[in-house]
Amino acid sequence: MNQVLITPIFLLAAVAVTLAPGPDILFVIAKGVSQGRTTAIVAATGFVCGLSIHTALAVTGLSALILASAVAFTVVKIAGGAYLVYLGIRAWCSRGLISLPAPGTNHSPRRIFTQAFCMNVLNPKVAIFFLAFLPQFTHPDRGHLPAQFLILGLCFALQTWVIFSLVGAFSSVLGRSINRRPQLARTLDLLAGSIFVALGIRLAFTRN
């Protein structure tokens, strides 16, 4: 079934979607710049675990139920939008998104993982994407549809982890230069924070 479902078209489309600008890849870049390759990979792993949750929800049909419920969709999108705004404000205040975190600031791998995981799980646009994207590559005559969803979703998550990890590694190299220039790092913090706040507001006001 793997050879039938995982086509070059699916992989190209998945890579294009993964590389598209969004809060997930911007967060990985920020962590790579500020705290290095290992932290960026931790963030990438958090996002991929979030994608695994969306895959499981798509397989069980829960995503469709959430999207069909105006109340549930509103709660999730407001929570996700508020979390992005929170991260943006922290970047403005603590200078911890692009520049090196202040001494004593808790940026443990567990915290980074949790932030990335919550950002992904609380984004209903990811659920919408999975329900719109994955069915295009399923075939009722080629086996159990939930199993096809699972294989495609896990493949999407795997290529996301690879790409995010590579992007994070590249960002860590760039970060060594940026963090030798505190004023530049501060400017990028303000810019990144503004982007996160804008994305959070946009998500919160997404129409049901």
Per cent of the chain over pLDDT 90 is 19
Q: Please tell me the least confidently modeled range out of 9-23, 44-58, 145-159, 177-191.
A: 177-191
Q: Could you give the CA distance from residue 89 to residue 148 in angstroms, rounded to a whole number?
A: 40
User: Higher model confidence: residue 70 or residue 33?
Assistant: 33
Question: Residue 102 — very low, low, confident or very high, per pLDDT cuts 50/70/90?
Answer: low
Neighbours of 174 (CB within 10 A): 12
**Among all chains, which residue has been given the structure tokens 């403005």?**
92
Question: Residue 160 — very low, low, confident or very high, per pLDDT cuts 50/70/90?
Answer: very high
Distance of CA 31 to the CA centre of its chain: 13
Q: Could you give the CA distance from residue 164 to residue 64 in angstroms, rounded to a whole number?
A: 27
Phi, psi of 119 (to 5 degrees): -60, -40
* pLDDT score for 128: 78
Report the pLDDT averaged over residues 99-105: 54
* pLDDT score for 1: 44
- E strand or H helix at 193: helix 182-204
Burial class of residue 71, CB neighbours in 10 A (0-12, 13-18, 19+): exposed
Instruction: Please state the domain extents for the chain.
Output: 23-204
Neighbours of 139 (CB within 10 A): 12
Query: For the chain, what is the mean pLDDT?
Result: 81
Question: Residue 57 — very low, low, confident or very high, per pLDDT cuts 50/70/90?
Answer: confident
* pLDDT score for 38: 93
Is residue 25 within 8 Å of residue 18, measured between CB atoms? Answer: yes
Side-chain half-sphere CA neighbours of 5 within 13 A = 26
Report the pLDDT averaged over residues 137-144: 76
DSSP state of 101: P
* pLDDT score for 3: 46
